[in-house]
Chains A and B, each alone.
Chain A
Amino acid sequence: MKPRDESELAEAIRAAAGPLRVVGGGTRPVVRAAGEALHIGGLAGVRLYEPAALTLVVGAGTPLAEVEALLAGERQRLGFEPVRWNALLGAAGESTIGGVVAANVSGPRRLQTGACRDALIGVRFVDGRGEVVKSGGRVMKNVTGYDLVKLMAGSWGQLGVLSEVAFKLQPAAATEATVVLEDLGLGDAVAAMAAAMGSPFEVSGAGWMPGVGTMLRLEGLAESVAYRVGRLSAALARFGAVRIQRESSGALWRALGEVAPLHGLAGAIWRFSVKPSEAPGVVARLGCPVVLDWGGGLIWAVLPEGVDARALAAPYSGHATLMRGPGVVFQPEAPAIAALGAGLRAQFDPRGLFSGGAGNGL
């Protein structure tokens, strides 16, 4: 099925006789879904773009690349830096903005400006009853009614199918530079990232990649970036030698967001979200190739299929998602929390159209 607009989408869901597999660009095959494919590519197009109000409203099926090109033309951007996992997960296709929202996909800048869910100011969706529901709107500050916008972000399509999404935008940075510390052990790397994030120098990315080392990004007006590069380098000198990368700074962060060092490795791919200071311990216990983002708060790991990474990494706070490979996708929740989730799914999707196949751990 490929509805061409929201009312066709609602019609398709009302008429559905069994489970549906909602497909955007098909670039994030994380949740096991069964059933008839429901493509949202027809729900594409820019509904409203007001650069002077930093506001964008688009159909959920709009390709991410199209959104990025549109914003770049006005020197603006999605602040949360949506990233592509095609190469990591072995998926073809072009990411859609609705898929970005459904998976709450945020890149390195999440650390400074918040996640996709924080930039998302409005949604329209069709729930499992076939009802069109809107929440939020197109303005930046809005506390009118419950915030179903946050609920829909990162819900992986379990509650309904997004038809339209609205964002608060950011001006693009005039310049950027990366401060690199090459030879730190992981403990020092995480400590250096914490020191940087605790400084007033507005670090907009803090990650660690094998082959590069510890990376800290600074963005903004030219003089400001130059000033902060100097101050941050001086503050981090106690950790080791500091190198400044200006020319290809952007490429470094693209590689980090796409988790490039793990491309092509065989095995299961895990994504841990933890308290940053726990990262060195978790990585030591996992004992496998990793990439760190968000100051250590985000750990990407590749392990042989069948290994229970959650048990191996314990103890940690936060959660781990199995992004590729066999096993339970989502971190099991405390029973009372899981019961609320089940209650919400029963309300929004009483026929179980979007619950997906077995193995998600929902």
Chain B
Amino acid sequence: MQMPVPNPAILAKKAAVVAALRAVLPADAVIDAPEETRAYECDALAAYRAQPLAVVLPRTTAEVAAALKVCHNLGVPVVPRGAGTSLAGGAMPTEDAVILGVARMTAVLEVDTVNRFIRVEAGRTNLAVTAAVEGEGFFYAPDPSSQLACLIAGNIAMNSGGAHCLKYGVTTNNLLGVTLVTMAGEVLEIGGPWNDAGGLDLLGLVCGSEGQLGVVTEATLRILPKPEGARPVLIGFDSNAVAGACVADIIRAGVLPVAIEFMDRPCIRATEAFARAGYPDCEALLIVEVEGAEAEIAEQLGLIRQIAMRHAPVEFRESRSEDESRKIWLGRKSAFGAMGQINDYVCLDGTIPVSALPEVLGRIGELAKAAGLEVANVFHAGDGNMHPLILYDANLPGDLERCEALGADILRLCVEVGGCLTGEHGVGIEKRDLMTAQFNGADLEAQMRVKDVFDPRWLLNPAKVFPLDLSAARRG
């Protein structure tokens, strides 16, 4: 992964940049000592690092605006950062960039259960949003697996999803409004606790723009009443193709579960060794969760059982208690940790049409074999969002490169069957140079023109999303 050469003129004026930031921000909001800025040198794509010029940690929208104005005037790139949990390198700095972290902005500003929204500062964690409303019987739906740590600001930047978005949608479907600070330091209010935009849908444009259009400091989020209950069922199959056909039949039958999760044999074995959730030793496993009152759950699970039985499952395990539900989810939720125990891994995030599932799993197996690497699959099957985990050894010279080459082949395969490079993690630096596999020049040019409008000097998170050669002229 290439990063642009840091601008020597900016590196040379580091002291002046830091002084200018200190002049407008509280003393403890500007960090420039190398031993302290090191903590910000990477995000969850930890193979890539760069020490930022400085880090600012503002506490208010006004401080964010002041910091951005300084950087804008001095022509210094800014990389916005939430909790640094991006798997795509979305928050990775360059040496000539200032990191702007919003993690100190955590307040709840307004809870309105009558109109069903919450307004928070964007540095609040995803889970703490639900925590603020669950006492009143509500929750915030998008639930990325990093939800304990990840911040709403990052969720909005990457348009994060989660396991339950088959029913509830992703961040953009649950976002009502934002306070956005532009690179020039202008504070904008976009949207609010009403439906739809009165003009162009700028909110939809900002969500998922990977911190390239502005810095979100506050967000108005839709909250939903908690369902009366939820229950998962675990279904084991002796082939990936049959499991894939079962997913298609469930969707086809008109049942819309909140989640359909899929794990293949390598993943089942690894998680079983790690978490001992009591999963059957089979080729493929589905976890299907439905919601509602007792009778409604029974009605839906009855239908799902009928459908599953037509595919001769090796196991059909319906949870009968809270504890059994927890156990069914335990393995799935431990999957990434379990793989981490075995080896270093890269987690991919392509989406494919659900109908292409069996074919794609087969071809991933072939590609992995040819590359001499092992791939485990765990993913959101209901919406086709795959998470192939490629195992490699970081200490083995050349292994990361082989792993990345295989990853790129798998993502190109996702595009080839009608899917896309990333379903919920974002492009960042990781998939930046693969964008031409999915988009042609006109498509990418149209997207870059949007950035031209919001950030004409291309100072916000500039080395991300677009292939470096395509954005070079704009980045200057």
B232 CB to nearest chain A CB (Å): 18
A347 at the interface (CB under 8 A from B): yes
Residue in B253, B355, B422, B446 whose beta carbon sits within 8 Å of that of A127 in the complex: B446
Inside 8 A of A294's CB, which chain B residues have their CB?
A: 195
Residue of A277, A318, A331, A334 with most partner-chain B CB within 10 A: A318
Cβ–Cβ contact A52 & B355, under 8 A = yes
Cβ–Cβ contact A198 & B114, under 8 A = yes
A277 CB to nearest chain B CB (Å): 5
Cβ–Cβ contact A273 & B195, under 8 A = yes
Residues 156-203 (chain B) with a chain A CB within 8 angstroms:
158-159, 161, 165-166, 169-170, 172-173, 186, 188-190, 192-203
Residues 338-357 (chain A) with a chain B CB within 8 angstroms:
338, 340-341, 343-344, 347-348
Instruction: Mark A143-162 against chain B: 1 for CB-CB distance below 8 A, else 0.
Output: 11111111101110011000
Interface residue tally on A, bucketed by range: 35 or more
A137 at the interface (CB under 8 A from B): yes
Residues 222-274 (chain A) with a chain B CB within 8 angstroms:
223-224, 227-228, 231, 273-274
Cβ–Cβ contact B449 & A347, under 8 A = yes
A335 CB to nearest chain B CB (Å): 10
Inside 8 A of B424's CB, which chain A residues have their CB?
A: 141, 143
Cβ–Cβ contact B380 & A145, under 8 A = no
B384 at the interface (CB under 8 A from A): yes
Cβ–Cβ contact B420 & A55, under 8 A = no
Inside 8 A of B116's CB, which chain A residues have their CB?
A: 194, 197-198
A74 CB to nearest chain B CB (Å): 8
Inside 8 A of A143's CB, which chain B residues have their CB?
A: 158-159, 161, 170, 208, 422-427
CA A294 to CA B116, docked complex, whole Å: 12
- A142-B192 contact in complex given A114-B173, A224-B292, A333-B198, C-beta closer than 8 Å: no
Cβ–Cβ contact B295 & A227, under 8 A = yes
Chain B interface residue count, CB cutoff 8 Å, equals 91
A28 at the interface (CB under 8 A from B): no
- A75-B353 contact in complex given A114-B173, A197-B116, A221-B296, C-beta closer than 8 Å: no
Inside 8 A of B420's CB, which chain A residues have their CB?
A: 137, 139, 142, 144
Inside 8 A of A338's CB, which chain B residues have their CB?
A: 199
Inside 8 A of A202's CB, which chain B residues have their CB?
A: 292
A104 at the interface (CB under 8 A from B): yes
CA A145 to CA B189, docked complex, whole Å: 23
Cβ–Cβ contact A55 & B353, under 8 A = yes
A118 at the interface (CB under 8 A from B): yes
A64 at the interface (CB under 8 A from B): no
A51 at the interface (CB under 8 A from B): yes
Cβ–Cβ contact B198 & A321, under 8 A = yes
A109 at the interface (CB under 8 A from B): no
Inside 8 A of A317's CB, which chain B residues have their CB?
A: 192-194
Inside 8 A of B426's CB, which chain A residues have their CB?
A: 143
Residue in A106, A171, A274, A318 whose beta carbon sits within 8 Å of that of B255 in the complex: A171
Inside 8 A of B35's CB, which chain A residues have their CB?
A: none
Inside 8 A of B202's CB, which chain A residues have their CB?
A: 151, 337, 340-341
Cβ–Cβ contact A131 & B445, under 8 A = yes
CA A317 to CA B176, docked complex, whole Å: 13
A54 at the interface (CB under 8 A from B): yes
A327 CB to nearest chain B CB (Å): 15
Cβ–Cβ contact A275 & B193, under 8 A = yes
Residues 306-327 (chain A) with a chain B CB within 8 angstroms:
317-321
Inside 8 A of A337's CB, which chain B residues have their CB?
A: 188-190, 199, 202
Cβ–Cβ contact A145 & B225, under 8 A = no
Cβ–Cβ contact B248 & A53, under 8 A = yes
- A199-B225 contact in complex given A141-B165, A146-B209, C-beta closer than 8 Å: yes
Cβ–Cβ contact B355 & A53, under 8 A = yes
- A227-B208 contact in complex given A139-B419, A143-B424, A273-B196, C-beta closer than 8 Å: no
A28 CB to nearest chain B CB (Å): 15
B257 CB to nearest chain A CB (Å): 11
Residue of B138, B207, B353, B444 with most partner-chain A CB within 10 A: B353
Residue in B248, B292, B303, B449 whose beta carbon sits within 8 Å of that of A52 in the complex: B248
Cβ–Cβ contact B351 & A142, under 8 A = yes
Cβ–Cβ contact B204 & A53, under 8 A = no
Inside 8 A of B427's CB, which chain A residues have their CB?
A: 143-145
A133 at the interface (CB under 8 A from B): yes
B338 at the interface (CB under 8 A from A): no
Inside 8 A of B172's CB, which chain A residues have their CB?
A: 118, 147, 150
B300 at the interface (CB under 8 A from A): yes
A115 at the interface (CB under 8 A from B): yes
Inside 8 A of B465's CB, which chain A residues have their CB?
A: 145-146
B112 CB to nearest chain A CB (Å): 8
CA A227 to CA B380, docked complex, whole Å: 30
Residue of B420, B422, B438, B452 with most partner-chain A CB within 10 A: B420
Residues 69-100 (chain A) with a chain B CB within 8 angstroms:
75-76
Closest chain B residue to A133 by CB distance? B446
Instruction: Mark B378-413 against chain A: 1 for CB-CB distance below 8 A, else 0.
Output: 001001110000000000000000000000000000
Residues of A within 8 A of B (CB): 50-55, 75-76, 104, 106, 110-111, 114-115, 117-118, 127, 131-135, 137-151, 153-155, 158-159, 170-172, 174, 194, 197-200, 202, 220-221, 223-224, 227-228, 231, 273-277, 294, 297-298, 317-321, 330-331, 333-334, 336-338, 340-341, 343-344, 347-348, 362
> Please, could you name 5 A-B residue pairs with CB atoms under 8 Å apart, sorted by A?
A75-B254, A135-B446, A141-B383, A141-B423, A141-B424
Residues of B within 8 A of A (CB): 113-116, 137-138, 158-159, 161, 165-166, 169-170, 172-173, 186, 188-190, 192-205, 207-209, 225-228, 248-249, 251-256, 292-293, 295-296, 299-300, 303, 351-355, 380, 383-385, 418-427, 431, 435, 438-439, 442-447, 449-454, 465
- In order of increasing CB-CB distance, the 5 nearest A-B pairs are A150-B204, A319-B198, A171-B254, A318-B194, A141-B423
4 more contacts with CB within 8 A, not counting A118-B172, A151-B205, A159-B200, are A137-B418, A197-B225, A200-B228, A340-B202
